[in-house]
Chains A and B, each alone.
Chain A
């Protein structure tokens, strides 16, 4: 009897007993991941028979997965590159971008740091290793520990473009692989400077003003804060109206969607 049950179990595992449910696969950026998670959880509750999976392997893999047809929706924290577009079109995939939310890249320091504002030029020189001590920008005499996101993340690219103006960072810059790590490093290191998404601002790190603008929902949404970017969902062509992909990709337009975006610590696109 036991053996029968066991073999039945194995059989069901191998063949898959259930009727193929409707599936929705989302793949891509770690930054946009939380939004996809929240949306997916909401969709799971509303459509119990929908099999929805979320993967966070990076924007680059998201794009590759869309091109390979491994996913329905690619989440990306940067726009697709020319090369990726070419590959996609060559494969008969026509990527369409949907902007789901905005994210500010906030420059943060340890809360014990009296420096409260820097100019873009100063931040750039700090990351280029030209300014190496806080006393050079009006702070205490403390070596600066410079923390950046890894060079291939979308967050880095935003920072590289809008703050560094594509100038190279110095060799002493430390790289961490995610927002939580950047937050943790700044929180525990008195001389640190780093940058994180706006959702990661809390009491344990201090966001400084850049060019006299403090990061906030308003300043980011209106584009006043200098380091902000949109977050994308990419689909193959505009999804068929009424399909699950379409519903998912237009969910951010609803009040519920905007609320979820905000609850996850991002800046919603529209005021509802």
Chain B
């Protein structure tokens, strides 16, 4: 079918001379595809650019040092002070606390879905996780303020129910679907051989999981944790409603029952009211830049571990 034997060494593709139309179409198609891709990538880059550009007036006027080291956030005073330290600490604080709740539960749930139950039960349990991801953040916010906060005040005698604990619990729930699905992928991608080897050596399921599977899947699990953290750091409305928004760093540091304030909440809460063109508004964008940098770093970390996970599974 391929013609005379003399051409056998030639590549299969036709040369431009033989199929001009196809050649042009292919390149034209490529160009169109590239344009479309460029549009979406451009949109993404535009946003990043937008945030950075809008923050420059503030950074030029006030400088970075006070912004990153001062604990005082007083944007509407006659002599405004923009110290974002409390906000940065607050964001990290609730996100890490949320991970403390979410990671153990998430990994256990991932193990449950991948290794313990039958396909049928898994098909029932998985939608629970997906529904948790589908609930709009407004609903979580309502729950935090109207149900969880009064309950914590009654149950634990906290002076305030909208606090770091409340916010991190809700964030944990919101980060869980991400953590579970990525961790489950990582754990089940390891394949049967590893597990079977472990079982055949007489290890129990616990030992197989803790000593063999989870260490082998650690890159994927770390990536899951980082992705969960990104979700927690970027969440806005819920934290704004649940965290109490006091501009303080908890003292003592482990006291979760105190109100704190995050970067996202500050942006969401103040952006609508901040007058256009004043330092306050561009200071909020500067907070956005810090947020971007943070997610960027987390991104690199997760990318690194995910690619390691891929390499690991690729080898085995």
Contact = CB atoms under 8 A, between A and B. Distances in A.
A181 interface: yes
Majority-rule SS of B interface residues:
loop
Contacts of B78: 166
Given A83-B275, A84-B275, A172-B246, A151 B270 contact: yes
B280 interface: yes
Contacts, number: 103
A164 to B, nearest CB: 10
Interface string A140-181: 000101000011111011001000001010011111110001
Interface residues of A, number: 38
Given A143-B159, A188-B161, A175 B246 contact: yes
Nearest to A60: B273
B164 to A, nearest CB: 12
B145 interface: yes
B275 A145 contact: no
B248 A152 contact: no
Interface string B252-289: 00000011010000000111111111101100000000
Interface in B66-109: 71-72, 74-78, 86
B162 A174 contact: yes
A189 B160 CA distance: 7
A59 B271 CA distance: 10
Nearest to B260: A174
Contacts of A154: 273
Contact of B273 (A58, A168, A171, A192): A58
A169 to B, nearest CB: 8
A113 to B, nearest CB: 13
B245 A174 contact: yes
Interface in A52-78: 57-61, 63-64, 67
Interface stretch (B132-140, B146-154, B189-197, B303-311): B146-154
B244 interface: yes
B276 A64 contact: yes
A87 B247 CA distance: 31
B243 to A, nearest CB: 9
Contact of A60 (B86, B240, B276): B276
B241 interface: yes
A26 B140 CA distance: 30
A205 to B, nearest CB: 14
Contacts of A59: 273
A104 interface: no
Given A60-B274, A63-B276, A84-B276, A175 B269 contact: yes
Nearest to A84: B275
A59 B76 CA distance: 14
B150 A188 contact: yes
A121 interface: no
Interface residues of B, number: 39
B87 to A, nearest CB: 12
Contact of B275 (A81, A160, A185): A81
Contacts of B246: 171-175
Contacts of A145: 159-160
Contacts of A173: 246-247
Nearest to B258: A172
A191 interface: yes
A81 B272 contact: no
Of the candidates A84, A175, A191, the one having the most CB atoms from chain B within 10 angstroms of its own CB is A175
A87 B277 CA distance: 8
B278 A58 contact: no
B229 to A, nearest CB: 25
Given A83-B277, A191-B159, A171 B247 contact: yes
Contacts of B145: 181, 184
A168 B274 contact: no
A237 to B, nearest CB: 20
B269 A174 contact: no
Nearest to A64: B276
Contacts of A151: 74-76, 270
A61 B272 contact: yes
Nearest to A187: B150
A174 B261 CA distance: 9
Nearest to B149: A188
A83 B244 contact: no
In this complex, the member of A61, A154, A171 whose beta carbon has the largest number of chain B beta carbons within 10 angstroms is A171
Given A60-B275, A181-B241, A150 B77 contact: no
Nearest to B151: A188
10 contacts: A63-B276, A64-B275, A83-B277, A84-B275, A145-B160, A150-B270, A152-B75, A172-B246, A173-B247, A188-B153
The 5 closest A-B pairs by CB, nearest first: A58-B272, A152-B273, A175-B245, A171-B248, A58-B273
Given A145-B160, A171-B246, 18 more contacts: A60-B273, A60-B275, A81-B278, A83-B275, A83-B276, A84-B276, A84-B277, A150-B269, A151-B75, A151-B270, A152-B274, A153-B273, A154-B273, A166-B77, A173-B247, A175-B246, A177-B241, A181-B241
Interface of A: 57-61, 63-64, 67, 81, 83-84, 87, 143, 145, 150-154, 156-157, 160, 166, 168, 171-177, 181, 184-185, 188-189, 191-192
